[in-house]
Structure 1
Amino acid sequence: MGILSSLSKLFSAPANASKSEAAEPIEYKDYVITPTPQADQGQYRVSAIITKGEGEQQKTHTFIRSDLVANRDECIELTIRKAKLTIDQLGEQIF
């Protein structure tokens, strides 16, 4: 059983990469961007959930970037800018 627990630790998220609370969602064009900055070694990783539509027609895309920012509020601002840019560039292709 020791080998299995060691293997499971290899594939689980590290303790210092926990998720933070989601920020207020914003609407952009027909999309909703919900910033979800992830705490990572004392900084925050750019991350969001982008959705479009409602009910059974709703599409969701998890948006995670390698950018790390020291301040949570700055991370949220950067996340929104990058998510808008992604929507402008890719549109429906992000789903």
Structure 2
Amino acid sequence: MAGFFSNLFGGGNKDGRPAPAETVEYNGYHITPEPLADGGQFRIAALIECDVGGERKSHQLIRADVLSDYDAAVEASLSKARQAIDQQGTALFD
């Protein structure tokens, strides 16, 4: 019964994985946090997408940092993606 309420209120999937994080727009880019499960922790990762010259480009950001809390990993993934966008811009897609 607890699984039913978790799924109902966004607490995760049927297989126990956390619910996917929502895509966020940042300076014309779309960031989807995608922390990767890694030995009971979560590795910082995100998908960064943008339209460049009329073409949809994407970059998979993966960092070595791991966090024990999924929500913290989502926030850290967003932060690292924003930092990458600020530092590299469309060069991310080269």
The verdict on a shared fold, with TM-score over 0.5 as the criterion, is: yes
Q: TM-score range by the shorter chain?
A: 0.7 to 0.9
TM-score after normalising by structure 2 = 0.75
1:21: how far off? 5.3
CA RMSD of aligned residues (A): 1.9
| 2:67/2:73 contact within 8 Å kept | yes
| 2:18/2:70 contact within 8 Å kept | no
Report what 1:5 is aligned to: none
How does 1:12-91 map onto structure 2 within 5 Å? Answer: 22-53=20-51, 57-91=55-89
SS at 1:77 equivalent:
helix
Instruction: Mark the CA change 1:21 to 1:66 in structure 2 (over 3 Å): closer, same or farther.
Output: farther
Identity of aligned residues (%): 39
SS at 2:58 equivalent:
strand
| Matched residues, number | 76
Instruction: Mark the CA change 1:21 to 1:53 in structure 2 (over 3 Å): closer, same or farther.
Output: farther
1:20: how far off? 6.4
Q: Which runs of 4+ in 1 moved over 4 A?
A: none
Q: Does 1:93 align with 2:85?
A: no
CA distance in 1, matches of 2:86, 2:18: 26
TM-score after normalising by structure 1 = 0.74
CA distance in 1, matches of 2:20, 2:26: 17
Instruction: Mark the CA change 1:93 to 1:36 in structure 2 (over 3 Å): closer, same or farther.
Output: same
CA distance in 1, matches of 2:60, 2:19: 15
- Structure with more of its chain in helix, by fraction: 1
Identify unmatched segments of 5+ residues in structure 1.
1-18
